[in-house]
Amino acid sequence: MALSPEKILSRVGEKYLYSFDTYVAPERIEEVRAALTKVAIGAPVRYKFEHTITDHLTTEKGVYFFMLEELDVLSLPICVLLYVGKAMKSNTFKNRFYKYRDKIDNENDLVPQNVLMLTNLWPEHTYVYCYPMTDDKDIHRIEKVLINRLRPAFNEAYYVDRNVTTTDLAELTKKHKT
């Protein structure tokens, strides 16, 4: 069971409850697509975000996306990217998601506002996509590129544009040139 919107409202305020920006710049999408072609990424696995999610997750590592989905209106599919994260080193998808799962229906004031809303606000419409990867450097770089270029609403801080452009995109390109 998730926290009610009323309980979340008492913590975050009406201004933030359902309002967040969507950032879709065509050139940034192309940069992300180009970067993703430079690394080995496994096929995604889609999971409904619910308390039992950890029963199904693997011990692989990689990048993951929280998505708001199945909000169809007049057969028009509506999807929103909420959050991008990484699971690397020994912090696998399974290990990483215990922390999210434990925030469902958690009224503790120490739960960060973005995590509180991400894990409770849309219990019937939140899905996670896990993309397995093996190289920790690539996982870190890809997460950085995805967050900076796509700017998901629930990622609290974005990386510095200059660092992503000059370091990560260039490194990914150089690494896989043959």
Determine contact, residues 143/164, Cβ cutoff 8 Å: no
Band (pLDDT 50/70/90 cuts) for residue 168 is low
Q: Is the dihedral of CA 34, 36, 40, 42 positive or negative?
A: negative
As beta bridge partners, residue 65 has: 84, 129
Closest C-alpha to 45, from 35, 37, 53:
53
pLDDT in tens, 124-162: 999 999 999 999 999 999 999 999 888 998 998 776 655
pLDDT in tens, 72-110: 888 888 899 999 999 999 999 999 999 999 999 998 888
In terms of pLDDT, which residue wins out, 170 or 150? Answer: 150
Quote the tokens at residue 35. 């970067």
Quote the tokens at residue 166. 């000059």
pLDDT in tens, 36-65: 898 999 999 999 999 999 999 989 999 999
